Structure 1
Amino acid sequence: MSEQDAAGPADPSAESTSLSALPENGEREVETTLRPRKLAEFVGQARVREQLELVLQSAKRRGVPPDHVLLSGPPGLGKTSLSMIIASELDSAIRITSGPALERAGDLAAMLSNLVEGDVLFIDEIHRIARPAEEMLYLAMEDFRVDVVVGKGPGATSIPLEIAPFTLVGATTRSGALTGPLRDRFGFTGHMEFYEPVELEQVLRRSAVILGVSLEADGAEEIAGRSRGTPRIANRLLRRVRDYAEVRADGRVTRETARAALEVYDVDEWGLDRLDRAVLSALVRSFGGGPVGVSTLAVAVGEESSTVEEVCEPYLVRIGMLARTPRGRVATPAAWQHLGLPPPKGGTPEATQSLFD
Structure 2
Amino acid sequence: MSEPDFAPRDPGLAEDQTELAVEGALRPTSLGEFVGQQKVRGQLQLLLDAARIQQRPADHILLSGPPGLGKTTLAMIVAHESERPLRMSSGPAIQHAGDLAALLSSLTPGEVLFIDEIHRMARSAEEMLYLAMEDFRIDIMVGKGAGATSIPLDLAPFTLVGATTRSGMLPNPLRDRFGFTAHLEYYEPEELELVIGRSAAVLDIQLPAYARAEIARRSRGTPRIANRLLRRVRDYVIVHGERDGALPRATTADVNAALDLYDVDAIGLDRLDRAVLDALIRRFRGGPVGLNTLAVTVGEEADTIESVVEPYLVRIGYMGRTPRGRVATPEAYAHLGVPRAEEALRFDDL
Shared fold, TM over 0.5: yes
Residue 249 of structure 2 is matched in structure 1 by 252
Residue 16 of structure 2 is matched in structure 1 by 25
In 2, distance between residues paired with 1:299 and 1:29? 40
Residue 214 of structure 2 is matched in structure 1 by 222
In structure 1, list runs of 5 or more residues that go unmatched: 1-21, 351-357
> What is the deviation of 1:25?
2.8
Aligned counterpart in structure 2 of residue 42 of structure 1, from 19, 29, 34: 34
Give per-residue Cα distances to partners, 1:294-339, cap 9 Å, x unaligned: 1111111111111111111100000000111111111101001001
Secondary structure, in 3 states, of the residue corresponding to 1:206? helix
Residue 337 of structure 1 is matched in structure 2 by 334
> What is the deviation of 1:48?
0.3
Alpha-carbon spacing, 1:79–1:348, altered in 2? closer, same or farther (3 Å): farther
Q: Which amino acid aligns with 1:223?
A: I
In 2, distance between residues paired with 1:343 and 1:194? 31
Give per-residue Cα distances to partners, 1:241-293, cap 9 Å, x unaligned: 11011111213112111011100000001100000000001111111111111
Q: How many residues in Structure 1 have an aligned counterpart in Structure 2? A: 329
Give per-residue Cα distances to partners, 1:110-156, cap 9 Å, x unaligned: 11111111100000000011111111101100000111111111111
> What is the deviation of 1:108?
0.7
Q: Which amino acid aligns with 1:203?
A: V
> What is the deviation of 1:69?
0.2
Secondary structure, in 3 states, of the residue corresponding to 2:88? strand
Q: Which amino acid aligns with 1:263?
A: D
In 1, distance between residues paired with 2:48 and 2:241? 46
Residue 291 of structure 2 is matched in structure 1 by 294
> What is the deviation of 1:29?
2.8
In 1, distance between residues paired with 2:324 and 2:140? 50
In 2, distance between residues paired with 1:55 and 1:316? 36
- Structure with the larger RCO, 1 or 2 (CA within 8 Å, 6+ apart): 1
Q: TM-score, normalised by structure 1?
A: 0.90
Alignment of 1:224-239 (within 5 A): 224-239=216-231
> What is the deviation of 1:349?
8.6
Residue 162 of structure 1 is matched in structure 2 by 154
- Assess if the C-alpha contact under 8 Å between 2:286 and 2:343 holds in 1: no
Give per-residue Cα distances to partners, 1:31-65, cap 9 Å, x unaligned: 11111111101000000000010000001001111
In 2, distance between residues paired with 1:302 and 1:73? 28
Secondary structure, in 3 states, of the residue corresponding to 1:269? coil
- Assess if the C-alpha contact under 8 Å between 1:100 and 1:128 holds in 2: yes
Moved over 2 A (4+): 22-29, 344-350
Corresponding position: 1:268 with 2:270 = no
Q: Which amino acid aligns with 1:313?
A: E
- Assess if the C-alpha contact under 8 Å between 1:68 and 1:185 holds in 2: yes
In 2, distance between residues paired with 1:151 and 1:207? 54
- Assess if the C-alpha contact under 8 Å between 1:330 and 1:348 holds in 2: no
Residue 144 of structure 2 is matched in structure 1 by 152
Residue 205 of structure 1 is matched in structure 2 by 197
Q: Which amino acid aligns with 1:25?
A: D
- Assess if the C-alpha contact under 8 Å between 2:286 and 2:346 holds in 1: no
Give per-residue Cα distances to partners, 1:87-126, cap 9 Å, x unaligned: 0000000100001111111111111111111100000000
> What is the deviation of 1:23?
5.3
Secondary structure, in 3 states, of the residue corresponding to 1:171? strand
Corresponding position: 1:71 with 2:68 = no
Q: Which amino acid aligns with 2:44?
A: L
Residue 101 of structure 1 is matched in structure 2 by 93
Residue 315 of structure 1 is matched in structure 2 by 312
